Amino acid sequence: MIKTIILSCIICVFSSCTTEIQDVNVTIIDEIIEEITEETIDDVPAEIFEQIHDTISITRVASEEGRTKAFTDITFFDNQFFLVFRESDKHAFGEDGVIHIFNSIDGFQWNFIKEITMPGIDLRDPSFALNGEELSMYIHGSKYENQIITQFSAYNLKYSKINGWLAPTDVLLDNLTVNTNNISGNEAWPWRITWHNGTAYTVGYNGSNIFDLYTSEDGLFFKRQYAFENIPFVPSEARIRVDANGEFFVLVRRNTGSTLLGRSHNPSEEWEWFCNRKFGSIV
């Protein structure tokens, strides 16, 4: 589970650096992860890890001088690949981010199909979510004042096999927590959405007093579950995955500490935490 997430991070780095199609031997990536696991994740149960040996072909999709293209996600649905990312002039506090969607039949030739913008809102961190035979995309929005975040928002776009990507719909949290950082709108930033057995799961954070599990029956209104204990070192980005046996895993970035890996059979009630490694971002 953790290996899949680490591999995704490494592939994103290669994708942003390459200028032409090339083969990357995953044995090299295995060696990197083996070093990580041997030196810094000794407390992670061995059954979580699995070895991957394959060759990956990588191609650059888009390149433009002076533009930041980041926060990528990719999925395969309706007999095609979809790729989405944010574009701006800076990582933050520059032009408001816009979202670009590409598609591809073979994974090598890519076509630009849609741009998503919202006046006055910095769109960030687009990600796909698959719920059975339904595909949708989630996007975060931020507003700033003097380089300080003043508002959180989130949006959902559903995909139609007939009409393509539909118009955005607001995504709301229950907002029952007293927010200590004076951010209006949603009380937290839902980082990624994962569906399991008809329920949408996400981890929301606000950088101060909220880091917790949220769930939704419709994927548009999320309720806080109060499932996580007080986790130190400013936990933020987190990605949930569920294995074939229904066990939940979450990889958590902490801004001032090591990464945490959690596992649970009852995600709204109890989590076991381990891991001791710092990564730059959880995708």
Ordered per-residue pLDDT tens for the chain, 283 residues: 444 444 444 444 344 333 333 444 444 445 444 544 444 445 666 666 566 667 777 778 877 777 889 999 999 999 999 999 999 999 988 999 999 999 999 988 999 999 999 999 999 999 999 999 999 999 999 999 999 999 999 999 999 999 999 999 999 999 988 877 889 999 999 999 999 999 999 999 998 889 999 999 999 999 999 999 889 999 999 999 999 999 999 999 999 998 999 999 999 999 999 876 666 666 5
Token readout for 71 is: 């926060």
The span from the CA of 203 to the CA of 240, in Å, is 8
| Contact criterion met (CB below 8 Å) for 90 and 66 | no
Distant-in-sequence, close-in-space partners of 229: CB < 8 Å, separation ≥ 6: 271
Give me the sign of the Cα torsion angle 87, 191, 78, 26: positive
- List, in order of start, the domains of the chain with CATH numbers: 1-60 (no CATH), 65-277 (2.115.10.20)
Residue 160 three-state SS? strand
Token readout for 206 is: 């606000």
pLDDT of residue 138: 98
User: Mind listing the pLDDT tens digit for each residue in 93-119?
Assistant: 899 999 999 999 998 899 999 999 999
DSSP 97: P
Identify the bridge partners of residue 173 per DSSP, sorted by sequence position. 222
pLDDT of residue 59: 78
| Contact criterion met (CB below 8 Å) for 183 and 151 | yes
The span from the CA of 257 to the CA of 192, in Å, is 21
Mean pLDDT, the chain, whole residue set:
84
Burial string for 198-221 (b: 16+ CB within 10 Å, else e) reads eebbbbbbbbeebbbbbbbeebee
Percentage of the chain surpassing pLDDT 70? 78
The span from the CA of 190 to the CA of 171, in Å, is 10
User: Mind listing the pLDDT tens digit for each residue in 54-94?
Assistant: 777 777 887 777 788 999 999 999 999 999 999 999 998 89
Where helices occur in 230-278 by DSSP H, the ranges are: none
Give which of 112, 100, 108 is closest to 56, Cα–Cα. 108
Identify the bridge partners of residue 124 per DSSP, sorted by sequence position. 140
74 CB-side CA count, 13 A:
15
Per DSSP bridges, beta strands 184-185 and 148-160 are parallel
Residues in the chain: 283
| Contact criterion met (CB below 8 Å) for 267 and 201 | yes
